[in-house]
Chains A and B, each alone.
Chain A
Amino acid sequence: MVEIQRTQSESSGSLSPSAEEESKYRLLYSKSKVYVNPTAYARDNIPGFVALVKREAINPIYLLAWIPETLLCEKGTDEWNKFVKIEEKATLDEEDEDAVLIDLPTQRPESYAFSVPLTSIYSLLVHPPTLSSWYGTIGINLINSSTLPTLYFHDDESLSMTIPSRHTGRNSTSAYPPSTSSPSSSRPTNSWGGEDLLSRLRSYAHLLRSTLQPSLFIVDPSKADLDTHTTQIFDDDAVDDILAQSSYASSHSPVPAHRRPRPLSDVPANAPPNSYVPRSSVLHRSLYPPSISTTQSSSQARMALLQSFSNITRATRHAAQNILSHPLAKPIVPHLPDPVKSLVNANGDLEWGSWVEKGGVGEFESARVYLARWARIVAEEGDRARKREAQALPSSSNVVEEISPLGVFELLHSTVNLPSPKTSRDPAHPIDEALWAKWFDKDGRPKVRLEEMRRQVFRKGITPDGNLRKKVWPFILGVHDWDITGSEREAKWEEKRKRYREIKDEWCGVPEVFDRPDVLEERHRIDVDCRRTDRTQPLFSTSYEDTADNGPNGNRRYTTISPQMSDIGAQSPSNEHIDRLAGILLTYNFYNKELGYVQGMSDLCAPLYVVMGSDEELTFWCFVEIQNFLRDQSGMKKQLSTLQELICVMDPDLYRHLEKTDGLNLFFCFRWVLIAFKREFPFDDVLRLWEVLWTDYYSNEFILFVALAILESHRDMILRYLVEFDEILKYCNELSMTIELDSTLAQAEVLFLSFAQLVADIDRRRAEEATDSTSSVLRRRGTSASESEGKVSLSKIAMPTLSDNLRDLLKTGR
């Protein structure tokens, strides 16, 4: 309809004829008010246009671009108007005469602008708006493993999503040449801006929605991707699919159909929602994966096959092998992705074996827990395979890599299947002796601020080499003061040593106290637990029986706290260090007389004892600092209830699922929180985790974000397979020793930043509503209410009320 002459672009620069050719970029699609959020603060958000651009050539290149409004303003109103115009234009026809040519959207990292060929995009991470995050997002992962700034679709401000007449008027009357297969016909059903963009993208690239991770769309998937992301062996419907011999692989051309436009009809617009995981928000509806055709004839075979799966509960460790060698399973095996096949064949396979051995349990509780675990392993294997592949690929040089902190916002609903988020952590370069020494001047006074030290520990951790942790931990924990000289510190420490001796002397060598019934009872509790804590650590692994210094010499009566066997029954043999560990805990009993010994204390104290090189005083005072126990467990109760509220705000779907499964008490997180993941990670990882937690860098309760990160990593498994409280408990307990620490910490950091941003957003909106109650906000709501169901629910979203507990999560420093 409107021809915008090339002169427009020519006038903006002195281009040589060849460069002129280069500049033929046709704007195919644009959408306004798509934001990039460089920081956690809403005030820093940058509005811009997302655009699809075609480079005219014999082999045209399609580019996805984002241009900040400011950059477009610099280019003048004409350029701006082109974008507005294209956005207003509902339909697309490439052969249309009315080509709109623009300047090449430039790659400007400092302004976050980007333009990348679709061929360089590996995957899109799509999160539709939910009740708590009302702007849907799309994250873009490039083939070279880098991540572009996550795009936030502010549909309430965007022209194309707020003008009601456009959808109803122009499209339904088909004034333009759209056919049924044209993307435009489905436009009115696009509930949010990101989906609108996706449906347009489908015209230029094949988007494969992953069955492992529904928010993940692979762009022009490779064969390997297809295998990993389409086999729905865990979906109830998959069985029908396989039996009907209609696997994706057979219907799909073996040659990757690069750049071949695909009709949108690939995806039924009204695919029925997955009945097993009902998404509550209407905003999710249109994003459902294509349903798989169900054939009546296959239902019998389906039942039989499902039955054989359910028999897994009865089977032993070779259950899966047996089942997959079952005649009924034969047709399935060829369709299994390679990772699973390797598991199937794996008689002595390390992975399989270690998985079966996990938790010392060889028998499976229910088919659901079993399948959930299997799905997790496949997803993890797929992720590793993808990473390997990404490493093998040469990074495409025409894409300017942009490493910005933005990537961290991409995965509120992340899973193990995603590339590692960008995080501030750098655990590969821990603080070493040299760096630590540099932070102090000659007289032992620090040259860096306490906060900086904590920040560095949070980011890098401390080297396990030498005994640096022994030096640093007392500073992180506040046992040693920071801003004083070495000699002042020495004097203060001497006082603490003396104090420890005094407290210990209340029971040590004082028979009338030591053998008092209540003390005896505590000794019993402490001793029984210390004898079974970290016995694989060298210090604790020996016993009196097999060491030369055979126990009961003259003074052992009062240096060990072991009661008589008649009091504690038959227990594992003790040793000198176990006795001293128990002595520290008994002394703590006299230091904090209210509390008494609580099971789990030995788990918290033993690593301190090891790191402090069996120094009693240091262990004791560090232990005092990390003490988190209260007799009535009200401390735990508060933490779990805060975690519950956090889940409610950050992942309402998961919250509702837990509600349905009686899991809201979060008892499956009890062990995690009570002993700070001591049982969930190998000993060395526990040390690395703890020093990060103690920095209180982001939050005094960063541990809850770690818990949330683990739950989020497994949310899809939980939502899909685990429908009873006990199943979730079992699944979580058995995650022990399978969790990858650094990616979990990275995700916890991302979750914290997202949470902080959410709080900032809510506060800003509250403030806006308060000052602006009668004007535009209400009007906007009025318009959208008449528009579509999706919009109504989006605008009617009640902002979550943030309790004091939740706001306290933003507090740092003790």
Chain B
Amino acid sequence: MGRVLLKVIILGDSGVGKTSLMNQYVNKRFSNQYKATIGADFLTKEVMVDDRLVTMQLWDTAGQERFQSLGVAYYRGADCCVLVYDVNSAKSFETLDSWRDEFLIQASPHDPENFPFVVLGNKIDVEENKRQVTQKRAMTWCQSKGNIPYFETSAKEAINVEQAFQTVSKNCTATRSRRTTIDRESTQNYGCNC
């Protein structure tokens, strides 16, 4: 049948708004009641890319660094990685480097140099004087990493979310169907004596 499934991983520090962005994009709603993500979850959305209907699977994982060891199971076969930071938190921006590196190690894509990333600076709805990371600083970093597309978003106000994820879907259309091409070998086996 060849139903195309695009797998997208959303990464970034705890509390930058990964779950909110995903829900705003898929369900068109915002809640300030989201809890810290434990483990992982995903949402799917059907999108049109180049006149084809594809299913986008957006993976939301725990933001704390120490849970990254679980990443292997979730990152494999990813078609695109979305890096999120909070424009009001310099620290969340500064960790983007390590999120990117860690992802490339764990997902080990075939062509790490050209693997599609998208960067989102979230929470731009907060008053301007609270802002910690300028657009210029963010764009400079993105350019230095091979011209990563950059968007400033607000999950709360639904600003730029649709546009950002459209770019995500376009950028993963070095299209391949995970179900057909990616070898999903057994992730982890603790062994059993039965």
Pair from one complex: yes
Residues on A facing B (Cβ under 8 Å): 131-132, 313-314, 360-366, 524-525, 528-529, 532-533, 535-536, 565-572, 598-600, 602-603, 631-633, 637, 640-641, 644-645, 648-649, 652, 655, 659, 662, 664-665, 667, 670-671, 674-675, 679, 725-726, 729-730, 733, 800-801, 803
B38→A655 contact, CB < 8 A? no
Q: How far is the CB of A370 from chain B (nearest CB, A)?
A: 11
Q: Which residues of B contact A600 (CB under 8 A)?
A: 36, 38
> B39 contacts which of A132, A571, A659, A670 (Cβ < 8 Å)?
A670
> B89 contacts which of A566, A602, A633, A675 (Cβ < 8 Å)?
A566
B14→A599 contact, CB < 8 A? yes
Interface 1/0 per residue, B109-137 and A, CB below 8 Å: 00000000000000100100010100000
Closest to A726 in B: B42
**Cα–Cα, bound, A632→B14 (Å):** 18
Please judge, given known A-B contacts A571-B15, A675-B38, whether A633 and B91 are in contact too, CB under 8 Å: no
**Cα–Cα, bound, A535→B11 (Å):** 25
B33 within 8 Å of A by Cβ? Answer: yes
B39→A664 contact, CB < 8 A? no
Please judge, given known A-B contacts A664-B188, A671-B38, A679-B38, whether A599 and B46 are in contact too, CB under 8 Å: no
6 contacts between A and B (CB under 8 A): A313-B44, A360-B27, A532-B34, A565-B130, A599-B36, A670-B38
Q: How far is the CB of A129 from chain B (nearest CB, A)?
A: 15
A569→B89 contact, CB < 8 A? yes
B64→A525 contact, CB < 8 A? yes
Closest to B124 in A: A570
**Cα–Cα, bound, A363→B132 (Å):** 36
B194→A649 contact, CB < 8 A? yes
Given contacts A599-B64, A800-B194, 12 further A-B contacts (CB under 8 A): A313-B46, A361-B26, A363-B27, A364-B44, A365-B43, A570-B86, A600-B38, A645-B192, A648-B192, A659-B186, A667-B74, A675-B38
Interface 1/0 per residue, B24-39 and A, CB below 8 Å: 0011010111111011
Please judge, given known A-B contacts A363-B45, A570-B86, whether A644 and B132 are in contact too, CB under 8 Å: no
Q: Which residues of A contact B40 (CB under 8 A)?
A: 667, 670, 729
A603→B38 contact, CB < 8 A? yes
B132→A566 contact, CB < 8 A? yes
Please judge, given known A-B contacts A365-B44, A532-B36, A652-B194, whether A569 and B15 are in contact too, CB under 8 Å: yes
Of B39, B90, B126, B188, most A-chain CB atoms within 10 Å: B39
B86→A363 contact, CB < 8 A? no
Q: Which residues of B contact A652 (CB under 8 A)?
A: 194
> A569 contacts which of B42, B55, B123, B186 (Cβ < 8 Å)?
B123
B66 within 8 Å of A by Cβ? Answer: yes
Closest to B64 in A: A599
Closest to B28 in A: A362
The interface size bin for chain B is: 35 or more
Q: Which residues of B contact A602 (CB under 8 A)?
A: 36
**Cα–Cα, bound, A809→B58 (Å):** 37
Residues on B facing A (Cβ under 8 Å): 14-16, 23, 26-27, 29, 31-36, 38-46, 53, 55, 57, 62-64, 66-67, 69-70, 73-74, 86, 88-92, 123, 126, 130, 132, 184-194
Would you list the 7 A-B pairs with minimal beta carbon distance, nearest first?
A569-B89, A569-B86, A641-B190, A528-B15, A801-B193, A670-B39, A665-B188
A726→B38 contact, CB < 8 A? no
Please judge, given known A-B contacts A363-B44, A565-B130, A633-B66, whether A532 and B35 are in contact too, CB under 8 Å: yes
Q: How far is the CB of B32 from chain A (nearest CB, A)?
A: 6
Closest to A314 in B: B46
Q: Which residues of B contact A665 (CB under 8 A)?
A: 73, 187-190
Closest to A645 in B: B192
Closest to B7 in A: A726
Q: How far is the CB of B191 from chain A (nearest CB, A)?
A: 8
Q: Which residues of B contact A603 (CB under 8 A)?
A: 35-36, 38
**Cα–Cα, bound, A598→B90 (Å):** 22
A644→B190 contact, CB < 8 A? yes
Closest to B33 in A: A535
Q: Which residues of B contact A631 (CB under 8 A)?
A: 66
Q: Which residues of B contact A671 (CB under 8 A)?
A: 38-39
Please judge, given known A-B contacts A528-B15, A726-B57, whether A570 and B91 are in contact too, CB under 8 Å: no
Of A363, A567, A569, most B-chain CB atoms within 10 Å: A569
Q: Which residues of A contact B39 (CB under 8 A)?
A: 667, 670-671, 674
Q: Which residues of B contact A664 (CB under 8 A)?
A: 186-190
**Cα–Cα, bound, A572→B189 (Å):** 40
Q: Which residues of A contact B63 (CB under 8 A)?
A: 599
B190→A645 contact, CB < 8 A? yes
B194→A729 contact, CB < 8 A? no
Q: Which residues of B contact A655 (CB under 8 A)?
A: 192, 194
Q: Which residues of B contact A567 (CB under 8 A)?
A: 89, 91
Q: How far is the CB of B54 from chain A (nearest CB, A)?
A: 11
**Cα–Cα, bound, A665→B188 (Å):** 5
> B69 contacts which of A536, A633, A679, A733 (Cβ < 8 Å)?
A633
**Cα–Cα, bound, A570→B89 (Å):** 8
Closest to A661 in B: B184
**Cα–Cα, bound, A360→B27 (Å):** 8
Q: Which residues of B contact A640 (CB under 8 A)?
A: 190
Of B31, B63, B123, B190, most A-chain CB atoms within 10 Å: B190
**Cα–Cα, bound, A314→B44 (Å):** 10
Q: Which residues of A contact B74 (CB under 8 A)?
A: 667
Q: Which residues of B contact A132 (CB under 8 A)?
A: 194
Q: How far is the CB of B38 from chain A (nearest CB, A)?
A: 4
B194→A730 contact, CB < 8 A? no
> B70 contacts which of A565, A659, A667, A733 (Cβ < 8 Å)?
A667
**Cα–Cα, bound, A644→B192 (Å):** 8
B193→A800 contact, CB < 8 A? yes
Q: How far is the CB of A292 from chain B (nearest CB, A)?
A: 25
A599→B38 contact, CB < 8 A? yes
**Cα–Cα, bound, A572→B31 (Å):** 11
B89→A568 contact, CB < 8 A? yes
Q: Which residues of A contact B188 (CB under 8 A)?
A: 664-665
Closest to A132 in B: B194
Q: Which residues of A contact B32 (CB under 8 A)?
A: 572
Q: Which residues of B contact A648 (CB under 8 A)?
A: 192-194
B43→A674 contact, CB < 8 A? no
Q: How far is the CB of A564 from chain B (nearest CB, A)?
A: 10
Q: Which residues of B contact A649 (CB under 8 A)?
A: 194
Q: Which residues of A contact B26 (CB under 8 A)?
A: 361, 363
**Cα–Cα, bound, A572→B92 (Å):** 17
Q: Which residues of B contact A533 (CB under 8 A)?
A: 35-36
Q: How far is the CB of A64 from chain B (nearest CB, A)?
A: 35
Of B14, B34, B36, most A-chain CB atoms within 10 Å: B36
Closest to B126 in A: A570
Q: Which residues of A contact B193 (CB under 8 A)?
A: 645, 648, 800-801, 803
Q: Which residues of B contact A599 (CB under 8 A)?
A: 14, 36, 38, 62-64, 67
A525→B14 contact, CB < 8 A? yes
Q: How far is the CB of B100 from chain A (nearest CB, A)?
A: 19
B57→A598 contact, CB < 8 A? no
**Cα–Cα, bound, A652→B146 (Å):** 49
**Cα–Cα, bound, A567→B93 (Å):** 11
Closest to A734 in B: B41
Q: Which residues of B contact A670 (CB under 8 A)?
A: 38-40, 70
**Cα–Cα, bound, A318→B126 (Å):** 35
Closest to A521 in B: B91
Q: Which residues of B contact A569 (CB under 8 A)?
A: 15-16, 86, 88-89, 92, 123, 132
Q: Which residues of A contact B126 (CB under 8 A)?
A: 570
